[in-house]
Amino acid sequence: HPASGKNVETPNFWTVRIQPRDKSFRITIFGTPDCFTEINTEFDLKKDMSSYSSFKLQTGGQLPSALSLIRRASELNQSRKRRGNS
């Protein structure tokens, strides 16, 4: 989205925004921080927009943890869709 500078995945369960000042990525994922307690990561998940969380990816070594969170966000999004179609 040009206005926000975010790259949005379709379906919309995660976004990424380049943070040029500190050379990191701000990632927003579907699900509140309490939805990810079973995933052991070094990220400080913060509440973001309604029903979303965000964290900052700063090193390549953090990619496996980031992918675990994104996978879980995808599962949560799929679960939400199934409940909505029932």
pLDDT per residue over 35-70, tens digit each?
A: 999 998 889 999 998 899 999 999 999 999 999 999
State what percent of residues in the chain have pLDDT above 70.
Answer: 85
Neighbours of 47 (CB within 10 A): 12
User: CA of 67: how far to CAs of 3, 26, 74, 83, 86, in Å?
Assistant: 26, 13, 10, 24, 29
Q: Give the DSSP H or E segment for 6.
A: strand 6-8
Residue where the block lists tokens 């995660």: 14
The overall average pLDDT reported for the chain is: 88
Tell me the three state secondary structure of residue 14.
Answer: strand
